[in-house]
Amino acid sequence: MSLVEELTKKTVFELRSYAKKNNIDLFGVSKKNDILEVIFSFVPREVSSTVIQPEAAKEKVAVYSLRNLSLIGIGTLTEGYNIVTKEDADKWITNKSVRTATPEEVKRAYGK
């Protein structure tokens, strides 16, 4: 059971005790819904793991750029091969100077 579900099942007295224990000020609030609203403003929201991914878990793609490029909000590419996230690659390849690069092509370029 999540914290939100637990708190909604508590009585006003139990909610006041929870707030006091967690240093949440309930000054001037007396109704259960108002107390819950104040408490929920201090409780961190549950975040779905599909919404926020660590940088290491994002899929990386190689792109080849014919020249140095820059896009606001995305970053920069230098001439040659660049490793970017799949989402950024989808934006970069709309530019006529950028194309996707195969892993074999990148290996060959770096002598592996």
What is the C-alpha R_g of the chain?
A: 25
Q: With a threshold of 0.85, does the pTM exceed it? A: no
Percent of the chain with pLDDT over 90: 31
- Token pair 């989808």 in the structure block, residue: 90
Which of 62, 60, 78 is closest to 70 using CA atoms?
78
The neighbouring-strand residues paired with 85 are 60
CATH 3.40.5 location in the chain: 55-109
pLDDT tens, residue by residue, 16-41: 988 888 888 888 888 988 888 888 88
Is the domain spanning 55-109 CATH 3.40.5? The answer is: yes
